[in-house]
């Protein structure tokens, strides 16, 4: 799901209909707790997480590189695990997000190939 349309209420609605999601979210959304927004001078690869009471939704703030952070909202992960398959110490949530993102990007590319975009109607001659 695109971060422009992602919100806590959208993920809740999908979960009520039996669908799970892993998506990024903007930091300025009012759904993001203030404790997650503070990412200044945090250690590299550090993670802050907020769980809901019934642990159906998890929101994390992950620092993949210096002066950068990623906010993820998921409804299908209940535990944070570090996948040691790569040397960059990514969380399992981040790896699942990247796998799903590849599918969305390839679908967007295929749609773009088959869409007809009309060019300019006037000719310069």
The verdict on residue 2 lying in a domain is no
**pLDDT (0 to 100) of residue 118:** 59
**Model confidence, pTM:** 0.71
Structural domain contains residue 1: no
Within a domain: residue 48?
yes
Domain count across the chain: 1
Assigned domain for 29 exists: yes
Quickly tell me which residue has 């404790």 as its tokens.
Answer: 35
Per-residue pLDDT at 23? 86
Q: Is 64 within the bounds of a domain?
A: yes
pLDDT of the residue at 26:
85
Q: Provide the 10 A C-beta neighbour count for residue 88.
A: 11
Q: What gap in Å lies between CA 15 and CA 12, rounded to an integer?
A: 5
* Domain enclosing residue 34, as ranges: 8-113
Mean pLDDT by 10 residues, the chain (125 residues): 79 90 86 80 83 81 85 82 68 78 72 67 59
CA distance 60 to 45: 12
* CB-based contact 49:58 (threshold 8 Å): yes
- The alpha-helical segments, DSSP class H, found in 19-91 are 34-37
């Amino acid at each position: 799901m695109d971060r422009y349309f992602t919100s806590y209420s959208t993920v809740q609605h999908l979960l009520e209909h039996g669908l799970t999601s892993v998506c990024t979210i903007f930091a300025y959304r009012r759904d993001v707790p203030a404790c997650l927004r503070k990412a200044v001078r945090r250690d590299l690869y550090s993670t802050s997480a907020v769980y809901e009471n019934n642990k159906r939704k998890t929101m994390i703030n992950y620092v993949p590189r210096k002066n950068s952070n990623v906010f993820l909202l998921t409804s299908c992960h209940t535990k944070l695990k570090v996948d040691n398959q790569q040397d960059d110490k990514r969380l399992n949530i981040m790896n699942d997000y990247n796998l799903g993102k590849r599918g969305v990007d390839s679908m967007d590319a295929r749609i773009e190939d088959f869409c007809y975009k009309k060019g300019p109607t006037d000719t310069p001659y």
